[in-house]
């Protein structure tokens, strides 16, 4: 395990990166010949090719102990909206089976996760889960383009790239801290200017960047090195050719993915801009003492420079991933060069299969699911932007029968009913249907408990929160509402205990670091614990410390003078012995 330390005045950040190597390590691609043949010669008959695939899952089970598989629970806790469709999954399984006909090693254990996202995106995580965005399913034009994406992602699995770089270890530092910086910036700006446009971000700051839901869904993918991407492209091309797909559709897919990556970069720049604005807005906080004193001014300059560097380092960590990749032109040229060298230019590919694609994804229930999901995404986006007219227009296409199968639809419906129609009872019914699904996001339980609390029904709120805890397997996302529910029920001791639990969670450390970096102070009044404290109405730790001091003073006052003198004499004797 490697530890990289970044030191800034008043800030210590530790980035932990891990490299997990299991099973047989593939050798480098050959200078000549077909990469798949080279890899098959190593993997054929090797039962240990993929090593211990349960190692990462076992680690995760220590954190997520619910009824949902831990590797899925970690995404539900981050409010990744899932889409459940037997038809869509069966179609992907069929394509994957066809792609693996040329693979002669052990068959990899792979599962699919379909996520709501307006952007085109796909990646594989350390748990061999291939994430496919609904935006991708709406963007591809034929089965061969979808097969190109899956061929590339399964190649990362066959080459064990996802075991070398965990999506839950290396990349999230920059993503989580970037998000934390952004929402901390919003909180600072809101506290200073009381502007409504910052209010939502300030509220969400306390539960960490990942709880921003879809706002971060397009930045969760691991960023492979240039060499890993080239290897996956070569092997992906081999798999496509062996499966008799139109490999030329690979080029069109790369073009589409590049356009989607540009949109993700624009979103990252937005958050960076928010952070920079917050830094400038709070610049005066970095300067203490006499403004005319050169020493005080120099110290303030250094603090501001450190905070700016901290923010730049964080966002550059994400941006660097894009810089280190080949451009789409370089990537396509590299694939064509490999095609020419390994396949002598390649045979004439078959026609792209538009019919199968349309039959499965653009007709019937799958088509309605994808359309409803897109309407839900647009509804949620419009509501976040306070654009009621657009939200109202989009709700007409939500597909009211897909509440349980499409998380985004349930969230969009309940949000619209609550914020626009002012129908909390109807919103409760919608969320209750959504939480019947084992794969409901944490947000659904939290929103439903909020509505119960508004109706002064703490028992129902507690019940639904514990339902979420039992499924996802930890309390983190649900603690603030548990505090509110137990306080409302008059269970003060239990509410205080949950506030103490808030103090124990890691997200507060990132939040405190971010707020200290942005505000130029050594202490932060924000964070997860402070948010839970506000729910309770007072600082539990401060009150308990105050009570402990009071009791100590009381005991001292009640201690007889003779006992005090004897105690002082004993202390003096012990000091003499040990000194």
Residue 386: predicted pLDDT = 84
CA angle 49, 55, 60 (to 5 degrees): 145
- What is the C-alpha separation between 155 and 248, in angstroms, rounded? 18
At 123 the three-state DSSP class reads strand
Q: If you average pLDDT over residues 352-360, what whole number do you get? A: 96
pLDDT above 90 for 570: no
Helices (DSSP H) in 194-248: which residue ranges? 196-205, 226-242
Q: What is the pLDDT of residues 320-337, one digit of tens each?
A: 554 456 888 999 999 999
- List, in sequence order, every residue forming a beta bridge with 129; answer none if it has no partner: 111
At 133 the three-state DSSP class reads strand
Q: What is the pLDDT of residues 91-106, one digit of tens each?
A: 999 999 999 999 999 9
Q: What is the pLDDT of residues 104-130, one digit of tens each?
A: 999 999 999 999 988 888 999 889 999
- What is the C-alpha separation between 284 and 309, in angstroms, rounded? 17
Pick from 251, 230, 258, 231: nearest CA to 346 = 251
Band (518; pLDDT cuts 50, 70, 90): low
Token output for 504: 């124990």
Which residues, including other chains, have CB under 8 Å from residue 161's CB and lie 6 or more apart?
Answer: 224, 228, 231, 232
Residue 174: predicted pLDDT = 43
**Cβ(441)–Cβ(207) under 8 Å?**
no
Residue 3: predicted pLDDT = 32
User: How many other CB atoms are there within 10 angstroms of residue 22's CB atom?
Assistant: 16
- What is the C-alpha separation between 129 and 489, in angstroms, rounded? 41
Q: What is the pLDDT of residues 263-292, one digit of tens each?
A: 555 555 655 665 666 566 656 666 666 667
Band (4; pLDDT cuts 50, 70, 90): very low
Q: What are phi and psi of 509, to 5 degrees?
A: -65, -45
Pick from 295, 283, 310: nearest CA to 11 = 310
Mean pLDDT of the chain: 79
Quickly list DSSP for 389-436. HHHHHHHTTS-GGGTTTBHHHHHHHHHHHHHTS--HHHHHHHHHHHTT
Q: What is the pLDDT of residues 46-63, one digit of tens each?
A: 888 987 777 778 888 898
- What is the C-alpha separation between 88 and 361, in angstroms, rounded? 7
Helix axes 442-454 and 479-488, enclosed angle (nearest 10)? 20
- Find tokens 């077909």 and name the residue: 34
pLDDT above 50 for 187: no
- List, in sequence order, every residue forming a beta bridge with 82; answer none if it has no partner: 115
pLDDT above 60 for 363: yes
Pick from 114, 131, 111, 113: nearest CA to 122 = 131
Percent of the chain with pLDDT over 90: 47
Which residues, including other chains, have CB under 8 Å from residue 513's CB and lie 6 or more apart?
Answer: 11, 13, 177, 180
Token output for 35: 């990469």
| Residues 281/380/203/206 CA torsion (nearest 10 deg) | -110
Band (195; pLDDT cuts 50, 70, 90): very low
- List, in sequence order, every residue forming a beta bridge with 406; answer none if it has no partner: 83
The b-or-e profile of 258-273 (16+ CB within 10 A means b, else e) is bebbeebeeebeebbe
Q: Is the pTM of the predicted complex or chain greater than 0.85?
A: no
Percent of the chain with pLDDT over 70: 68
- What is the C-alpha separation between 176 and 514, in angstroms, rounded? 11
- What is the C-alpha separation between 486 and 470, in angstroms, rounded? 18
Helix axes 354-361 and 143-158, enclosed angle (nearest 10)? 90
- What is the C-alpha separation between 370 and 374, in angstroms, rounded? 6
Pick from 230, 238, 252: nearest CA to 99 = 238
**Cβ(346)–Cβ(241) under 8 Å?**
yes
Token output for 382: 């419009």
Strands 122-124 and 111-115: unpaired
**Cβ(334)–Cβ(364) under 8 Å?**
no
- What is the C-alpha separation between 266 and 215, in angstroms, rounded? 12
Band (400; pLDDT cuts 50, 70, 90): low
Residue 232: predicted pLDDT = 94
Residue 245: predicted pLDDT = 98
Residue 318: predicted pLDDT = 53
User: How many other CB atoms are there within 10 angstroms of residue 411's CB atom?
Assistant: 29
Residue 531: predicted pLDDT = 79
Token output for 80: 């990744």
CA angle 11, 12, 18 (to 5 degrees): 145
Q: What are phi and psi of 151, to 5 degrees?
A: -60, -40
Residue 565: predicted pLDDT = 72
């Amino acid at each position: 395990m490697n530890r990289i330390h970044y030191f800034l005045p008043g800030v210590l950040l530790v980035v932990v990166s891990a490299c997990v190597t299991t099973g047989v390590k593939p050798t480098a691609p050959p200078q000549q010949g077909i990469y798949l043949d080279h890899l098959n010669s190593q993997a054929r008959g090797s039962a240990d090719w993929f090593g211990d695939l349960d190692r990462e899952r076992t680690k995760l089970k220590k954190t997520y102990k619910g009824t949902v598989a831990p590797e899925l629970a970690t995404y539900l806790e981050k409010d990744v909206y899932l889409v459940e469709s037997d038809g869509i999954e069966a179609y992907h399984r069929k394509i994957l089976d066809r792609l693996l006909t040329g693979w002669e090693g052990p068959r990899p254990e792979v599962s699919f996760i379909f996520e709501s996202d307006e952007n085109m995106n796909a990646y594989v995580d350390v748990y061999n889960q291939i994430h496919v965005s609904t935006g991708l399913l709406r963007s591809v034009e034929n089965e061969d383009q979808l097969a190109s994406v899956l061929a590339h992602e399964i190649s990362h699995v066959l080459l064990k790239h996802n075991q070398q770089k965990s999506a839950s270890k290396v990349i999230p530092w920059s993503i989580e801290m970037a998000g934390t910086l952004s929402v901390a910036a919003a909180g600072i700006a809101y506290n200073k200017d009381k502007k409504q446009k910052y209010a939502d971000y300030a509220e969400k700051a306390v539960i960490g960047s990942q709880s921003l839901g879809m706002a971060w869904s397009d930045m969760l993918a691991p960023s492979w090195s240039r060499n890993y991407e080239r290897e996956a492209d070569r092997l992906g091309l081999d798999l496509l050719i062996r499966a008799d797909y139109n490999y030329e559709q690979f080029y069109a897919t790369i073009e589409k993915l590049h356009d989607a990556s540009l949109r993700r970069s624009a979103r990252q720049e937005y958050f960076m801009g928010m952070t920079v604005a917050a830094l400038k807005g709070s610049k005066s906080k970095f300067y203490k003492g006499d403004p005319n004193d050169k020493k005080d001014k120099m110290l303030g300059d250094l603090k501001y420079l450190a905070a700016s560097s901290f923010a730049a380092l964080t966002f550059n960590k994400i941006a660097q991933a894009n810089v280190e990749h080949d451009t789409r032109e370089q990537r396509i040229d590299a694939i064509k060069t490999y095609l020419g060298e390994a396949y002598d230019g390649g045979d004439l590919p078959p026609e792209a299969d538009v019919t199968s694609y349309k039959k499965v994804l653009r007709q019937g229930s799958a088509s309605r699911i994808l359309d409803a999901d897109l309407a839900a995404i647009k509804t949620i986006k419009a509501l976040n932007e306070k654009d009621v007219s657009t939200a109202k227009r989009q709700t007409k296409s939500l597909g009211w029968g897909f509440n349980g199968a499409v998380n985004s639809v349930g969230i969009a419906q309940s949000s619209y009913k609550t914020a626009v129609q002012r129908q909390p009872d109807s919103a409760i019914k919608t969320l209750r249907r959504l939480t019947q699904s084992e794969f409901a996001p944490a947000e659904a339980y939290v929103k439903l408990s909020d509505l119960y609390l508004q109706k002064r029904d703490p028992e129902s709120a507690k019940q639904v929160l514990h339902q979420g805890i039992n499924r996802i397997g930890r309390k983190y996302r649900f603690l603030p509402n548990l505090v509110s529910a137990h306080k409302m029920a008059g269970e003060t001791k239990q509410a205080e205990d949950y506030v103490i639990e808030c103090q124990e969670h890691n997200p507060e450390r990132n939040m405190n670091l971010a707020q200290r970096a942005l505000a130029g102070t050594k202490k932060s009044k924000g964070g997860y614990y402070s948010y839970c404290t506000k729910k309770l109405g007072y600082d539990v730790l401060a009150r308990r410390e105050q009570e402990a001091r009071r009791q100590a003073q009381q005991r001292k006052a009640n201690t007889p003078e003779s006992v005090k003198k004897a105690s002082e004499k004993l202390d003096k004797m012990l000091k003499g012995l040990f000194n």
